[in-house]
Structure 1
Amino acid sequence: MSIKRNLSSAEITAAFKPRLDFPKYNVTLANFHGHHRVALQKMRSLAPQVNLVVEIRDSRAPISTRNGLFARVMGDIPRLILYSKRDLSSLKQETIQKWHPDGNALSVDCNSYSDVRKVLRIAKSMHANVTPAPPLGSHLLVTGMPNVGKSTFLNTLRTAGTSIKKKAAPTGGMAGVTRSISNEIKISSNPPIYIFDTPGVFVPHVKDERTMIALAITGAMRTSIVEPEIQADYLLYRLNLVHPDGKPYRSFLPHPTNNIEELLEAIWKQKLKPKQRGGGYNPTGAAAFWVDQYRQGRAGKVSLDNLDEFESASAIEEKLLDDFEMDFDEEARRWKQPFLF
């Protein structure tokens, strides 16, 4: 007679193999709204005043948070790429240098004065090299997908350059806090340099479900667009590829798992059930809690993108943008009034 026994956590960990593929979920691949289109139109009308475009991408999803629309709208204006939330990401500066051999990209923490001063030095150097000097000062325009840290960056930059601590732009943890382009905000008096804050603008269409899920996890859209359980499952998939020992969620579960339900139930029992008055297991609440932990840097540092796909993603992005048409003159006629800033 054979005797069955439960495997220990150590035995489960030793035998564990992470998933190499992620299932296809039925999620929408678009989240482009009317105010995104209006923001692009306003950016285009501001282009003659802009000396430098600062495009911010989220380093937790550095490929998914690119948006080729900005380059198309702003044309040949010099561009600086900032990979934000450095403190929450595993993205290395060496990888960024490989992607941008011309040196026009930096890894930054938008709350760090030392990091944003690097941008201020670049802006001042650019101003000094313009002959004759711009009579109304130099102008920067900050762009990016929703919730990549644009307003946080602007506030920190303004304080670093002028010592003014009052916020110039509202901030928040989800998309849609900034809804319109700001008036010019002074970030330096000597030399005179100003910056425009802009709303986050989504791409017209993402390339696949994984990209949409990654954007949802970073907070680039409302939670209801992609179900929290799907976000949690993708986060588990990405974490297991880098940490097959399950260390990032070991405080909830003593062994690694590919089963998101097993992890969510463990999270619910430990973190949410003790706080509830009545009611049963809530997987949606557990999933939202865990994804939020990741956003705060408490669930491991892992890229939500396959970083080896950077070059191929560029070709896919261009193909998707080819299907997007925007007649700026027609847009101006449609709104029947000049844009005031």
Structure 2
Amino acid sequence: MKITASFLQHFRKEFIFPSKDVTHFFPQHMAKGLNKMQRTLATVDYVIEVHDARIPLSGRNRQFKETLAVRPHLLILNKMDLTDLKYKRNVIQRLKANQGVQEVVYTNCKQEKSGTVKTLLIPKLTEVLMGTARFHREGLDHYNILIIGLPNVGKSSLINAMRHLHSGKGKATPVGPHAGVTRSVLEKIKVSHSPLIYVYDTPGIMMPNIEDMDVGMKLALCGTLTDHLVGYDMIVDYLLFWLNSHGYFKYVKYFNLSQPTDDIFQFLSNVAKLYNVVEKRKSPSGEYVYKPNFDLAAKYVLRAFREGQLGCYNLDEDIVQSVTN
């Protein structure tokens, strides 16, 4: 069907955020990791921050700036296969001009044979390591790299890709689709023999305070916040609002809908019917009724979005366009 402006005129123009505050999420292991990470800087030659390419301008931990300021650093925008790359050049310009980033590399570290790790990241890393004064670490036979970033942005996937590329060995650190897979405070892993390079894998560390709810919901959409703490249906409702307001309707065909919808419960009911996820409940009259399982339906939607099945998007496209227009 042809989707007209008149059809969409009754859709929401703004998102009403939940009463649940998602701007405060800082578990004890994150505080411990941040403190130990800062104490480790004296033994570090280089810092790599990994961030999600779908939110390149939002959600970076401001506390990392102090860490990045004292060592050469690189920002990796990972999961490039899931973002809209038409904004790539403007994003890099914005990061360098306004967020103090020295170097930016887009990668897809989930694929260990990714050409970006081999052709872009490793040469840049070697160039900087060999050309940077090491001060009190001069004369040592190895280099230490600190890997930092939010939860579930691909830090462990990066380490595994680097390790596999140089040594042919398998995975050194566990990876997963959810936030909080890496919990050890600082784990030292060899990723190269020549030059001898070790990396410190750190747990994902959120900001103690996220700047606003809009950023918080973007982080939740990308899986850097724990889904059940925010609410599966709330995250999907934000996704539905964002897709509709930006004119992206691939979800209609993917979930076999007849037309776009702005009603989260109607949407999840259709998804539940499609995947046959219903709950059997007993009514007050004693009869059994079948109701859609909204949480399970929402999980199907989130998985489809996070795997790129609903399209590849830059959730910060409004920010990028406001800067470049």
What is the aligned partner in structure 2 of residue 111 from structure 1?
110
Larger deviation, residues 50-59 vs 209-218 = 209-218
Whether 1:148 and 2:142 are equivalent positions in the alignment is: no
What is the aligned partner in structure 1 of residue 251 from structure 2?
248
CA separation of 1:159 and 1:307: change in aligned 2, threshold 3 A: farther
Cα drift, residue 274 of structure 1 = 8.0
What is the aligned partner in structure 1 of residue 268 from structure 2?
264
Residue of structure 1 aligned with 2:315, choices 290, 304, 323 = 304
What is the aligned partner in structure 2 of residue 32 from structure 1?
26
Offset from partner CA, 1:67-107 (integer Å, 9 cap, x none): 11112245421110111111111143212222234761111
Larger deviation, residues 200-209 vs 298-307 = 298-307
What is the aligned partner in structure 2 of residue 83 from structure 1?
77
Q: Distance in 1 between matches of 2:47 and 2:280?
A: 48
Aligned length: 302
Offset from partner CA, 1:145-197 (integer Å, 9 cap, x none): 00011001110111112222x21111111111101234322222111121111
Contact 2:110 2:154 in 1 (8 A): no
Whether 1:135 and 2:140 are equivalent positions in the alignment is: yes
Q: Distance in 2 between matches of 1:10 and 1:116?
A: 42
Cα drift, residue 124 of structure 1 = 1.3
Contact 1:58 1:65 in 2 (8 A): no
Q: Distance in 2 between matches of 1:302 and 1:176?
A: 24
Report % sequence identity. Answer: 28
Whether 1:100 and 2:95 are equivalent positions in the alignment is: yes
Root mean square deviation, CA, Å: 2.6
What is the aligned partner in structure 1 of residue 57 from structure 2?
63
Whether 1:289 and 2:290 are equivalent positions in the alignment is: no
CA separation of 1:125 and 1:300: change in aligned 2, threshold 3 A: same
What is the aligned partner in structure 2 of residue 44 from structure 1?
38
Offset from partner CA, 1:51-70 (integer Å, 9 cap, x none): 11110111122233311111
Residue of structure 1 aligned with 2:124, choices 122, 125, 133 = 122
Q: Distance in 2 between matches of 1:131 and 1:210?
A: 41
Offset from partner CA, 1:209-254 (integer Å, 9 cap, x none): 222222222111222211111101110111113335x233323212
- Report 1:178-197 matches (<5 A): 178-197=182-201
Cα drift, residue 119 of structure 1 = 1.8
Whether 1:20 and 2:13 are equivalent positions in the alignment is: yes
What is the aligned partner in structure 2 of residue 5 from structure 1?
none
In structure 1, stretches of 5+ residues that fail to align are 1-8, 313-341
Contact 1:239 1:300 in 2 (8 A): no
- Paired residue secondary structure (2:291): coil
CA separation of 1:212 and 1:110: change in aligned 2, threshold 3 A: same
Q: Which amino acid aligns with 1:191?
A: P
Q: Which amino acid aligns with 1:142?
A: I
CA separation of 1:59 and 1:11: change in aligned 2, threshold 3 A: closer
- Paired residue secondary structure (1:184): strand
Contact 1:216 1:222 in 2 (8 A): yes
Contact 1:67 1:145 in 2 (8 A): yes
- Paired residue secondary structure (2:292): coil
CA separation of 1:121 and 1:11: change in aligned 2, threshold 3 A: closer
What is the aligned partner in structure 2 of residue 321 from structure 1?
none
Contact 2:237 2:264 in 1 (8 A): yes
Offset from partner CA, 1:126-147 (integer Å, 9 cap, x none): 2322467641312111100000
In structure 2, stretches of 5+ residues that fail to align are 282-288
Q: Distance in 1 between matches of 2:314 and 2:39?
A: 35
Q: Which amino acid aligns with 1:16?
A: L
Q: Distance in 2 between matches of 1:214 and 1:147?
A: 13
Whether 1:203 and 2:193 are equivalent positions in the alignment is: no
CA separation of 1:76 and 1:307: change in aligned 2, threshold 3 A: farther
- Paired residue secondary structure (2:49): strand
Q: Which amino acid aligns with 2:117?
A: V
Give the TM-score of the pair, scaled to structure 1: 0.80
CA separation of 1:11 and 1:306: change in aligned 2, threshold 3 A: closer
Give the TM-score of the pair, scaled to structure 2: 0.84
- Paired residue secondary structure (1:181): coil
- Paired residue secondary structure (1:83): strand
Q: Distance in 2 between matches of 1:213 and 1:63?
A: 14
